[in-house]
Amino acid sequence: MIRMTLAEVTHAVGGTLHVHTPDTPETTVSGVVDTDSREMGPGSVFVAKPGETTDGHLFVDAAVEAGAALAIVERRLDAPVSQIVVPDAVAALSDLARVVVARVRAGGELQVIGITGSNGKTTTKNLLARILQDEGPTVAPRASFNNEVGAPVTMLRVSDHTRYLVSELGASRPGRIAELAGLITPDIGAVLMVGLAHAGGFGGVEATQKAKTELVEAVRPGGVAVLNADDPRVAAMAAVADTRGVSVRWFGRATNADVRAEDVEVTASGTTCTVVVGEQRLPLRLRVLGEHHVMNALAAITVAQVLGVDPAASVARLETVEIAERWRMQPMGSDRVRIINDAYNASPDSMSAALRTLAQITEPGQRKVAVLGAMSELGEQAGEEHDRVGLQAVRLRYERIVVIGTAARRLYLAAISEGSWDGEAVFFETADEAFEYLRAELRDGDRVLVKSSNSAGLRFLGDRLGESFS
């Protein structure tokens, strides 16, 4: 965080300051701001966030021992540290982020990019950060820091020298993206796609579209919306951009896209395509597995071009990226038994894309094995969408379909109904049971996809399988 006095932080969050000797209101802090006491260091600010399972106030002493110089709390504590008491610690975190980003923007050349979409946010964020880090100091989220805590924590990492802030914006409910984007008023807003991810929390895909449109509505007048030309729901957001004086740049495979891909080919070592930008035709070899990641790369190239980066330079930098993120189409195991661990998150769109990818990279004589868990937050559409995944796995001729967890049982039943009733589809209540089955069942040449929502926990099963067959 930029250097601020205790008095300035207090004013930013609207709290009451209680200084601890020898501090004064003019004492400064400039370290990390976080809700995790393990992230603290000298001069840092600990935000004591109440949680569902624990309370950040219980960790203030640990934060102080690690170097925290200030605690933002909801009640005053008997702790040897200056404290700012606020009604809502999470709201205070956002208030502080808003002030810090505005100060950096006013005093330098900071460019702010917001990214949202039902799928692909984290991958696109990582690809864009890789491009921009060679242009100047860049701040981007760790992992999937895209909610009401992770997004402002990332924003607060900017310094007076930061040139680019990349914010990943997720939505747990209508209005959330508007709130997060409102903290930074992006110069560029990129919308990747509108799908069924989290549709249960919104009441359907139309409501999801409206939620993602909130980013376009938050882009500053004169800014740029980077939109997916292949997704009609995203393309419709151009009308919103026009009413706000926001210009539009298109990416996709459609012929009208400003940055588009042709000749896409998926292999076991990555994905190749030709990136077309005006008269430029640039061969791109992504090491990241999956045809769907081409769209994420196109979005990153488009945003970077808006920021003045030559697409050829963007392509060269993207080719150095080995994986999108841990647990996202992450190759593990060995050539003998290849594990693709893609179990950090799952939606109907990403599940379908992952199943197609493994089918595309599996050679004749090799078996396709799908290890699948539940897709969360689909609401009333959960049953039908799990049915679709089971049907798709059978129709892609997966030799083994291993389904784990009661919440995913309907996927298993759909696979059986479609014809995988002779041992091809199996069901286990727990990941441990599935691991024992797979350790005995997998053989040389097998290609294995592990895919589920984060809540199902199969990413750890993927890790175990990767280690077992390394």
State both tokens at 103: 């100060």
- Per DSSP, which regions of 291-445 are E strands? 330-333, 338-342, 368-372, 400-404, 425-428
Q: Is 117 marked as a binding-site residue?
A: yes
State both tokens at 459: 């990413």
CA distance 333 to 327: 13
Q: Is 118 marked as a binding-site residue?
A: yes
Q: Phi-psi category of 313—alpha, beta or left, where left has phi over 0 and alpha has psi -120 to 50?
A: alpha
CA distance 345 to 239: 31
Burial of 146 from C-beta contacts in 10 A (0-12 / 13-18 / 19+): buried
Q: Is 121 marked as a binding-site residue?
A: yes
Q: Is 445 marked as a binding-site residue?
A: no
Q: Is 120 marked as a binding-site residue?
A: yes
CA distance 98 to 148: 13
CB under 8 Å to 109, separation ≥6 — which residues? 163
Query: What's the residue count for the chain?
Result: 470
Closest CA to 230 of 278, 177, 191: 191
Backbone φ, ψ for residue 264 (5° rounding): -75, 130
Q: What is the C-alpha R_g of the chain?
A: 23
CA distance 121 to 8: 33
In degrees, rounded to 5, the angle at the alpha carbon of residue 111 between the alpha carbons of residues 35 and 4 is 45
Q: Report CA torsion sign: 174, 200, 329, 194.
A: negative
SS3 at position 91: helix
Backbone φ, ψ for residue 319 (5° rounding): -70, -10
Tokens 């999956």 sit on residue: 290
* Binding-site annotation: residue ranges: 117-123
Binding residues for ATP: 117-123
